[in-house]
Amino acid sequence: MKNSRGIALILTISILSGLLALALGISTLLVREMKLSQEIANSGIAYGAADTGIERFMYGINKEALEPTTCQCGSSNCYSATLSNNASYIVCTKQATPPVQIKSTGTFRSTNRSIQITY
């Protein structure tokens, strides 16, 4: 009788250890998937900010005078702004004569997305 109690205890501990390992594995996968989905959401917002930068720049070329801002994009024509959702964009132009290459980089949290067009 004493031996069967010891075996039951070892078997119970083994089963509980297996269930704990399974639960930890599933929770690790869930946390990883949640981080990935958050980064995908951040990427969409950063892309939207880059698109907004291109749109505002094109509107500014056609409708109003744009004043360059101080940016770190290596060109003299640089425009930046922060949007209401705390995303930001930096628009840089590569050359002043047509065709003009325009690159807009949107940033949200630590995610950056860029769009480049030729106008």
What pTM did the predictor assign?
Answer: 0.73
pLDDT at 111: 93
Per-residue pLDDT at 65 = 67
pLDDT of amino acid 76 = 62
Tokens of 27: 């929770």
In tens digits, the chain (119 residues) has pLDDT values of: 556 667 888 899 999 999 999 999 999 999 999 999 999 999 999 999 999 999 988 888 777 666 666 666 766 678 888 999 999 999 988 776 778 888 999 999 999 999 999 87
* pLDDT reported for residue 2: 57
Distance between CA 78 and CA 60 in Å, rounded? Answer: 13
Q: What is the pLDDT of residue 75?
A: 62
Phi, psi of 91 (to 5 degrees): -110, 125
How is the chain split into domains, by residue range? 2-118
Q: Give the model's pLDDT for residue 39.
A: 93
The amino acid at 106: G
Yes or no: say if 42 and 109 are a contact pair by the CB < 8 Å rule.
yes
The set of residues, in sequence order, having a beta carbon less than 8 Å from that of 100 and lying 6+ positions away, is 93, 94, 118, 119
- pLDDT score, position 6: 75
Per-residue confidence (pLDDT) for residue 13, from 0 to 100? 93
